[in-house]
Chains A and B, each alone.
Chain A
Amino acid sequence: MSEALLHVSDLEAAYGDVKVLHGIDFTVNVGDISVVLGANGAGKTTTLRAICGQVHTSGSIAFNGAEISQEATADIVRRGIAHVPQGRGTFPELTVTDNLEAGAFVRKDPEINADIDKWFEVFPVLGERPDQLAGSLSGGEQQMLAVARAMMSRPRLLLLDEPSLGLAPIIIEDLFGRLAAINADEGMTMLIVEQNANLALAVASHAYVLEAGTIAISGEPEVLSGDEAVRRAYLGY
């Protein structure tokens, strides 16, 4: 049994009067890729926003043993959680290099430039255009930049909100391949929210299905994709 990095219990979240999460529990173990599946409006994005302190919540979010549910976003990031929000989340008016430097904002060590070079090697499309404005990159390139930007903070947990959104299938496949590689090479723990269930389950070590603000099913990805009911309801085949 591996060690839990993130443990969420009885998490509730609301936008004004509209309650979105109705007490969910889940765990992300060190080194795992956990995947949260679910339809539109199930509360996937809200779950990630709750972990990052961007919505008002009740319940407990324990990261690395510390309770973070009442902390400010900037402090949560300093604890080692990086978030790639839905719809990229780069700084469009900043250059590629500046985006990566901004990603390392919480760091004070001297290896920032070395890290930038490292991510330029991992994502050569970014290395080819360090001075281009992020807003002028293509959708796939921006998503790569967003991932690299998040990794620049040297997080212990990487949150990804629908990384496949709006990308061509070939790009998505490439992206998930790279995510799996980052997980394998760096031992990076990830929590990925996705609608593209097949692709996400292929890289996942654990999966949750979110339905109307509650966890409906959880288990090994093989079990989930094998389950007839799950397949029909959530995976669409």
Chain B
Amino acid sequence: MFLLAVSVDTDPELLLARVLDGLRFGSGYGALALALVMIYKATGVLNFAQGELALLGIYIAWALSVGWGWPIIIAVILAMFATATLAAGIERTIIRPFDPSNHLPLVIVTLGLFLAINSFVAVTWTTDLKALPSMFPKGNVFAVGVAHLTWSGLGMFITVLVMLGAVTLLLNRTKVGLAFRAVSSNIESAELVGIKVGQTLQFGWALAAAIGTLAGALLVPELQVLDPNVMLSTLVFAFAGAALGGLDSPKGAVIGGILVGLIRNVVVQSVSFIPSELSVGAAVFVILLVLLVKPSGLFGSSKVVRV
């Protein structure tokens, strides 16, 4: 039934093309992984609704740019603000009433958000295929045969590095960053030094939503289709990136995301017996492998669970 002929493409141009593609998509995964990590770091919760929040942001950006004819960059920035505001509201109304140290009910709430936002987008904008314009100019920076580095690829890579730099500075050099790290380390002690835990977590949700929306606005033009399911596999890749890098490390998220992009585009496509449709499967395999072998990932801190 299956013909398992193991062979690996070694054509250097093709390989370079795949590496560049991997970096491009990996930057997008890394950006979304960064959003996931912000929430996980602050609250210890895996936000399964992160992708759908980004989806909502992408559709808002689409409505502003394609629908109203505004410049795409303005549209994306406004969409980031919109989703950040919404996320802050979500945190205040349906997250904060729950015990922050009991993670399971919170995760289930994010699942409810997943369904609700996904359906809201499908009802509001229909499930017809759309296209989101890219924030970067068309064309190549350079091209070698089939391999070419596009401006959007370069732009995505630089954007995600700038995002990481900004987040790192925010966390390590500002007072709100100190509050954020304190809350993620010990909620009760954070309260006792006068940190307003609720507001800090709210800030984390808003920031993550804005980052996620930007991640989506980077990725979706590269995927060339926009429909309500576009963030689903992207979320799995981003989770794989976050797990690989360490779920509480912003740096790890970006590096992990890029590595997952490379795995998707270089490893899966170069090895003939892995059907390329199974790239999501490769991402899941990465998650499984990391959690089995090194649950703290490449850069995460291993937390000791007190008994």
B-chain residues with CB within 8 Å of residue A77 when the two chains form the complex? 191-194
Task: Tell me, rounded to whole Å, the shortest Cβ–Cβ distance linking A155 to chain B.
Answer: 10
CB-contacts of B182-216 with A (<8 A): 182, 184-186, 188-197
* Contact, CB under 8 Å: A105 / B301: no
Q: Which of B178, B184, B196, B304 contacts A98 (CB 8 A)?
A: B178
* Contact, CB under 8 Å: A94 / B182: yes
Task: Tell me, rounded to whole Å, the shortest Cβ–Cβ distance linking B47 to chain A.
Answer: 20
CB-contacts of B169-184 with A (<8 A): 175, 178-179, 181-182, 184
Total CB contacts across the A-B interface at under 8 A: 73
* Contact, CB under 8 Å: A85 / B192: yes
Q: Which of A85, A102, A103, A153 contacts B188 (CB 8 A)?
A: A85
A-chain residues with CB within 8 Å of residue B178 when the two chains form the complex? 98, 101-102, 105
Closest to A134 in B: B185
With the chains together, A216 CA to B197 CA distance in Å? 36
A-chain residues with CB within 8 Å of residue B188 when the two chains form the complex? 54, 85, 89
Q: Which of B179, B192, B196, B304 contacts A89 (CB 8 A)?
A: B192
* Contact, CB under 8 Å: B181 / A94: yes
* Contact, CB under 8 Å: A102 / B192: no
The listed residue with most B CB atoms (<10 A of its CB), out of A91, A135, A150, is A91
Task: Tell me, rounded to whole Å, the shortest Cβ–Cβ distance linking A1 to chain B.
Answer: 31
The listed residue with most A CB atoms (<10 A of its CB), out of B175, B178, B186, B190, is B186
Q: Say whether A149 faces chain B, with CB atoms less than 8 Å apart.
A: yes
* Contact, CB under 8 Å: B185 / A74: no
A-chain residues with CB within 8 Å of residue B301 when the two chains form the complex? 93
CB-contacts of B212-263 with A (<8 A): none
With A98-B178, A98-B181, A105-B179 in contact, is A92–B191 under 8 Å at CB?
no
* Contact, CB under 8 Å: A54 / B191: yes
A-chain residues with CB within 8 Å of residue B304 when the two chains form the complex? 135
Closest to A159 in B: B192
Q: Say whether A167 faces chain B, with CB atoms less than 8 Å apart.
A: no
Closest to A106 in B: B194
Closest to B184 in A: A93
Closest to A133 in B: B301
Contact with B along A76-111 (1 / 0, CB 8 A): 011000110100011111100010011101100000
The listed residue with most A CB atoms (<10 A of its CB), out of B182, B186, B193, B195, is B193
Q: Say whether A52 faces chain B, with CB atoms less than 8 Å apart.
A: yes
* Contact, CB under 8 Å: B182 / A52: no
Task: Tell me, rounded to whole Å, the shortest Cβ–Cβ distance linking A71 to chain B.
Answer: 12
With the chains together, A98 CA to B182 CA distance in Å? 9
Q: Which of B185, B192, B197 contacts A93 (CB 8 A)?
A: B185
* Contact, CB under 8 Å: B191 / A90: no
Q: Say whether A73 faces chain B, with CB atoms less than 8 Å apart.
A: yes
Closest to A101 in B: B178
With A74-B195, A90-B186, A153-B193 in contact, is A105–B181 under 8 Å at CB?
no
* Contact, CB under 8 Å: A102 / B182: yes
With A74-B195, A77-B194, A106-B194 in contact, is A91–B189 under 8 Å at CB?
yes
Measured CB to CB, the residues of B under 8 A from A are 175, 178-179, 181-182, 184-186, 188-197, 301, 303-304
The 27 listed contacts between A and B (C-beta, < 8 Å) are A54-B191, A73-B191, A74-B191, A83-B192, A85-B188, A85-B189, A85-B192, A89-B189, A89-B192, A90-B189, A91-B181, A91-B182, A91-B185, A91-B190, A93-B181, A93-B184, A93-B185, A94-B181, A94-B182, A102-B181, A102-B182, A102-B190, A103-B193, A105-B178, A135-B304, A153-B193, A153-B194
Extra 10 A-B pairs, beta carbons < 8 Å, given A89-B186, A93-B303: A74-B194, A78-B194, A85-B189, A91-B186, A93-B301, A94-B185, A102-B190, A105-B175, A105-B194, A149-B189
